[in-house]
């Protein structure tokens, strides 16, 4: 009977290890830009606390009924299927907000019908918030200003008929385009206002493309939420996290979290199971040692 008891003990230890790993997964932070549970500079934890989460494209399809704001901030390019789905959401009357590094915003602009030319980062030594790379921009509609983290300038050229991009936000007259990427002004680099956000009307909705790595991310969220709620205050905000399905660690962590943090039922259940398993392992260990 001793080999059988040993195998049972090993089985319980394996289960205990798996459950302990799950608890650590839930509790320990996972740094990841544009992630709903990341409290870092480019995380979305502030927005996540005041919005609904879409963990799959199906979630967005069910929610996108022509009256929501879909926030599509991410660090990677959208696939053709994702871009097509967002375009359809806008056509049905939703507002889609897109931002991230140039490789991410470029793809959605291409799918809408524009060819984009990257000109360089926009820096502003005057209208900033303590960092020339985090600038204050003026919104063309209404008396508002927004703050963008690591903005950049692009030229847009329509590649098919029937599409038009309306400038939505401009950097200040003191800003310049850092064409060579050395984080300082060099003679000959363009000085003056640059378009740092575009509004594209699509069907009954619109797509807002912010040419910046951060717009509703944590470090600039407090500056921009006023503009968002003033402009679209009657709409529900959905933070798209469907991209996490490609990363089991990030996706599982979202599944077990409630909107305001870890759901108590999950932690209580896991703690109870761990306690029971620990008791059984201890009992079998005692018997084995006799």
Alpha-carbon gap, residue 44 to 39, rounded angstroms = 7
| Predicted confidence (pLDDT) per residue in 68-106, tens digit | 999 999 999 998 889 998 999 999 999 999 999 999 999
In sequence order, what DSSP letters do the residues of 234-277 get, joined into one string? TSEEEEE-GGGGG-HHHHHHHHHEETTEE-HHHHHHHHHHHHHH
CA distances in angstroms from 231 to 95, 141, 211, 228, 235, listed in the order given: 11, 10, 19, 5, 9
> Which residue shows structure tokens 């594209």?
200
Residue 168 has pLDDT above 70, yes or no: yes
In sequence order, what DSSP letters do the residues of 250-262 get, joined into one string? HHHHHHHEETTEE
> What's the confidence (pLDDT) of residue 141?
82
Residue 169 belongs to what H/E stretch? Answer: strand 165-170
Alpha-carbon gap, residue 274 to 276, rounded angstroms = 6
> What's the confidence (pLDDT) of residue 191?
97
| Predicted confidence (pLDDT) per residue in 18-66, tens digit | 665 665 566 666 789 999 999 999 999 999 999 999 998 888 887 766 6
Residue 185 has pLDDT above 80, yes or no: yes
Beta strands 195-202 and 205-210, pairing class: antiparallel
> What's the confidence (pLDDT) of residue 271?
58
| Mean pLDDT, rounded, for 148-169 | 94
What is the band of 234 on the pLDDT scale with cuts at 50, 70, 90?
A: confident
Per-residue b/e over 158-178, b at no fewer than 16 CB within 10 Å? eeeeeeebeebbbbbeebbbb
Alpha-carbon gap, residue 252 to 248, rounded angstroms = 6
Between 127 and 259, the higher pLDDT residue: 127
> What's the confidence (pLDDT) of residue 278?
62
Per-residue b/e over 251-262, b at no fewer than 16 CB within 10 Å? bebbeebeeeee
Question: What mean pLDDT value characterizes the chain?
Answer: 85
Contact 99, 209 (CB under 8 A): yes
> What's the confidence (pLDDT) of residue 115?
94
> What's the confidence (pLDDT) of residue 57?
83
| Predicted confidence (pLDDT) per residue in 257-273, tens digit | 754 444 545 555 665 66
Alpha-carbon gap, residue 128 to 146, rounded angstroms = 11
């Amino acid at each position: 009977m001793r080999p059988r008891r040993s195998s049972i003990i090993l089985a319980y230890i394996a289960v205990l290890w798996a459950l302990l790993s799950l608890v650590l997964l839930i509790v320990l932070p996972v740094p990841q830009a544009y992630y709903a549970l990341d409290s870092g500079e480019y995380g979305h934890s502030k927005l996540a606390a005041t919005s609904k989460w879409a963990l799959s494209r199906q979630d967005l399809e069910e929610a996108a009924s022509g009256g929501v704001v879909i926030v599509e901030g991410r660090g990677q390019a959208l696939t053709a299927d994702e871009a097509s789905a967002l375009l359809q959401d806008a056509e049905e009357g939703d507002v889609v907000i897109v931002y991230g590094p140039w490789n991410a915003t470029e793809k959605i602009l291409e799918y809408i019908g524009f060819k984009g030319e990257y000109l360089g980062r926009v820096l502003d030594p005057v209208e900033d918030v303590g960092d020339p790379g985090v600038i204050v921009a003026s919104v063309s509609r209404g008396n508002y200003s927004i703050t963008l983290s690591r903005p950049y300038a692009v030229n847009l050229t329509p590649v098919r008929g029937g599409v038009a991009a309306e400038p939505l936000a401009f950097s200040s007259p003191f800003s310049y385009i850092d064409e060579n990427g050395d984080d300082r002004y060099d003679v000959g680099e363009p000085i003056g206002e640059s378009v740092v956000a575009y509004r594209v009307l699509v069907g009954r909705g619109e797509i807002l493309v912010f040419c910046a790595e951060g717009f509703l991310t944590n470090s600039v969220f407090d500056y921009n939420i006023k503009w968002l709620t003033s402009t679209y205050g009657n709409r529900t905000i959905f933070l798209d996290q469907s991209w996490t399905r490609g990363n089991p660690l990030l996706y599982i962590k979202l599944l077990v979290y409630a909107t305001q943090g870890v759901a108590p039922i999950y932690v209580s259940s896991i703690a109870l199971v761990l306690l029971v398993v620990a008791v059984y392992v201890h009992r079998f260990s005692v018997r084995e040692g006799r």
